[in-house]
């Protein structure tokens, strides 16, 4: 399984301790914000599946897994 990294933008958000597997979270790689579905959480390391078609070319795309930290989450949606 490939997991991609990028220069995620940090955010301060008090709701971050309540994130669960299958939540949707929004992260930002600088020029673009997009949604990912949380696949796994280990302490601060989160792996999520990209849930948007990205406008800008990156190494990752819709459906790929990305690795980020809780401090990179801008928004949270529970389903």
At 69, list the tokens.
């930290």
Confidence band, pLDDT 50/70/90 cuts, at residue 12: low
How confident is the model over 10-25, as a mean pLDDT?
Answer: 79
Sheet containing strand 24-28, edge to edge, reads 3-4, 65-69, 45-50, 33-42, 24-28, 75-77
Confidence band, pLDDT 50/70/90 cuts, at residue 33: very high
Tell me the helix, strand and coil percentages in the chain, rounded to 5: 10, 40, 50
According to DSSP, residue 17 is labeled: G
Considering only the C-alpha atoms of the chain, give the largest distance between any 2 of them, rounded to a whole number of Å: 31
How confident is the model over 37-49, as a mean pLDDT?
Answer: 94
pLDDT on residue 10 = 74
pLDDT on residue 6 = 86
Domain ranges of the chain: 3-77
Q: Which residue has the tokens 């792996």?
A: 47
């Amino acid at each position: 399984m490939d997991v991609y990294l990028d220069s995620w933008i940090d955010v301060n958000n008090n709701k971050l301790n309540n994130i669960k597997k299958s939540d949707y979270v929004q992260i930002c790689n600088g020029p673009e914000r997009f949604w990912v579905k949380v696949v796994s959480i280990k302490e601060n390391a989160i792996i999520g599946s990209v849930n948007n078609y990205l406008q800008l070319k990156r190494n990752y795309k819709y459906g790929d897994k990305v690795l980020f930290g809780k401090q990179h989450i801008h928004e949270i949606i529970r389903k």
